[in-house]
């Protein structure tokens, strides 16, 4: 029973034969993947057409290193300085054994990029997209070898958050999904396999469901934006870092477990479900949310808040590993 918070970057549970990884697109997500792959001692080649992308990636990976070290995720001999940057896509893909694509979240762009990568790579090389919500069936549609195309969706920042959602499209081979799952496990991630593709995969749909109600509650003036956030972060969010909603309610059922929880509390939950909102996010409501978050941030910049989040994430992941 996989109820632990497994997926510590330091706990690779599987070997991988893959040594060379190409990271295509090096913004927020690509640079973070690159840091993790470098820490795992892989040969990492990064490509991105944007001016300044190489400097950004080098800055990011160097900045991410202390957190990776604190997690015990850095293998002996690994060094962020080993990163290679190739502005040319073909040069970056030469010799790659696994590709992690992190370009902008636009279907037409990714479909074209996948077709170009497909034409450049031997057919056995898996091409994984970090896409947060696109369907692989569409992204792979212009490839001659669509069987090797998968979604490998991480969470920001991928060098710290264990979860990766893996799913193929209509024309993806099961073996490619397995290969991607094995690779992610080997670099210390906690991949989950989706049996069918849906927009937003699993975790973003769950986040979307919660966020919709959070916005509805703010719109209805039930509580401030800051207090709605506290209702998650200071409450169930702490438990969700350990167990998901099903296991959490299994415990909520006491000795009777989930069976008792359903008998006792399904009725009230059905009442809540019937009452949940579907807010219309008007410009005025957007303004209220933006103002609410600004107030909640108490003058801290996004960079400062991200640094605080990352420090806490490292401590949390370590604590979960030790307590698991
Ligand atoms: N930001 C998140 O929280 C998050 C989380 C999980 C997954 N994702 C997914 O990761 C992907 C990247 O998102 P991001 O937030 O890093 O975006 P970003 O805008 O920070 O980075 C995108 C990068 O792609 C580069 N790029 C543009 N055209 C390209 C091309 N033709 N080939 C290669 N690179 C190209 C850009 O120069 C940029 O550096 C998206 O698919 C997104 O859905 C994002």
Do 149 and 63 have their domain in common? Answer: yes
Please state the atom number of ligand 1 nearest to the C-alpha of residue 56. Answer: 39
Can you state the angle between helices 53-70 and 302-323, rounded to 10 degrees?
40
Output the CA–CA distances (angstroms, integers) from residue 136 to 128, 132, 295, in the order listed. Answer: 10, 11, 39
Nearest CA to ligand 1 atom 7: 132
CATH code of the domain containing 225:
1.10.1040.10
Do 167 and 251 have their domain in common? Answer: no
Q: Beta strand 149-153 with 163-168: parallel, antiparallel or unpaired?
A: antiparallel
Any atom of ligand 1 within 6 Å of the Cβ of 57? no
Please state the atom number of ligand 1 nearest to the C-alpha of residue 29. Answer: 16
Considering just the CA atoms, what is the radius of gyration of the chain in Å?
Answer: 21
Do 25 and 155 have their domain in common? Answer: yes
Do 220 and 133 have their domain in common? Answer: no
Position 120 in a domain: yes
CATH code of the domain containing 110:
3.40.50.720
Domain boundary among 193, 220, 250: 193
Give the domain range for residue 129. Answer: 20-193
Any atom of ligand 1 within 6 Å of the Cβ of 26? yes
Please state the atom number of ligand 1 nearest to the C-alpha of residue 53. Answer: 39
Q: Give residue 28 CA to ligand 1 midpoint distance, Å.
A: 7
Position 198 in a domain: no
Q: Give residue 88 CA to ligand 1 midpoint distance, Å.
A: 17
Domain boundary among 193, 218, 244: 193
What is residue 3's predicted lDDT score, i.e. its pLDDT? 30
Position 6 in a domain: no
Position 3 in a domain: no
Position 14 in a domain: no
Domain boundary among 169, 193, 217: 193
Do 29 and 140 have their domain in common? Answer: yes
Do 182 and 307 have their domain in common? Answer: no
Do 178 and 239 have their domain in common? Answer: no
Any atom of ligand 1 within 6 Å of the Cβ of 157? no
Nearest CA to ligand 1 atom 41: 131
Nearest CA to ligand 1 atom 3: 156
Do 115 and 258 have their domain in common? Answer: no
Do 185 and 220 have their domain in common? Answer: no
Do 46 and 141 have their domain in common? Answer: yes
Any atom of ligand 1 within 6 Å of the Cβ of 27? yes
Q: Is the pTM of this model over 0.85?
A: yes
> How far is the C-alpha of 246 from the C-alpha of 135, rounded, in Å?
27
27, 102 contact by CB (below 8 A): yes
156, 181 contact by CB (below 8 A): no
Do 96 and 222 have their domain in common? Answer: no
Any atom of ligand 1 within 6 Å of the Cβ of 53? yes
For 316, other C-beta atoms within 10 Å of its C-beta total 15
Position 10 in a domain: no
pLDDT string in tens for the chain (324-residue length): 333 333 444 444 566 789 999 999 999 999 999 999 999 999 999 999 999 999 999 999 999 999 999 999 999 999 999 999 999 999 999 999 999 999 999 999 999 999 999 999 999 999 999 999 899 999 999 999 999 999 999 999 999 999 999 999 999 999 999 999 999 999 999 999 999 999 999 999 999 999 999 999 999 999 999 999 999 999 999 999 999 999 999 999 999 999 999 999 999 999 999 999 999 999 999 999 999 999 999 999 999 999 999 999 999 999 998 765
Do 87 and 164 have their domain in common? Answer: yes
Output the CA–CA distances (angstroms, integers) from residue 116 to 32, 89, 132, 142, in the order listed. Answer: 24, 9, 21, 9
Please state the atom number of ligand 1 nearest to the C-alpha of residue 129. Answer: 41
Distance of CA 7 to the CA centre of its chain: 12
- Domain total of the chain: 2
């Amino acid at each position: 029973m996989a109820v632990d918070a497994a997926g510590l970057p330091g706990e690779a549970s599987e070997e991988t034969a893959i040594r060379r990884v190409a990271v295509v697109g090096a913004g927020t997500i690509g640079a973070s993947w690159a840091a993790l792959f470098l820490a795992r001692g892989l040969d990492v080649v990064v490509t991105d057409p944007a001016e300044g992308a190489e400097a950004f990636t080098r800055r990011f990976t160097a900045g991410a290193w202390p957190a990776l070290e604190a997690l015990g995720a850095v293998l002996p001999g690994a060094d962020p300085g080993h990163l290679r940057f190739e502005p040319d896509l073909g040069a970056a893909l030469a010799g790659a054994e696994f590709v992690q694509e992190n370009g902008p979240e636009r279907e037409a762009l990714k479909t074209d990029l996948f077709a170009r990568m497909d034409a450049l790579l031997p057919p056995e090389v898996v091409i994984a997209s970090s896409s947060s919500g696109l369907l692989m069936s569409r992204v792979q549609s212009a490839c001659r070898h669509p069987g090797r195309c998968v979604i490998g969706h991480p969470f920001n920042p991928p060098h710290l958050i264990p979860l990766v959602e893996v799913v193929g499209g209509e024309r993806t081979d099961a073996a490619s999904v397995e290969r991607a799952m094995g690779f992610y496990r080997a670099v210390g991630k906690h991949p989950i396999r989706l049996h069918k593709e849906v927009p937003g995969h699993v975790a973003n749909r769950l986040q979307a469901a919660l966020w919709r109600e959070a916005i509805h509650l703010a719109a209805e003036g039930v509580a401030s934006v800051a207090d709605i956030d506290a209702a998650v972060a200071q409450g169930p969010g702490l438990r969700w870092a350990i167990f998901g909603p099903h296991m959490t309610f299994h415990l909520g059922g006491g000795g009777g477990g989930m069976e008792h929880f359903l008998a006792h509390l399904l009725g009230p939950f059905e009442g809540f479900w019937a009452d949940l909102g579907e807010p219309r996010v008007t410009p005025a409501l957007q303004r209220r949310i933006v103002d609410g978050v600004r107030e909640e941030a108490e003058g801290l910049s996004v960079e400062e808040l991200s640094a605080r989040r990352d420090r806490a994430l490292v401590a949390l992941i370590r604590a979960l590993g030790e307590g698991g």
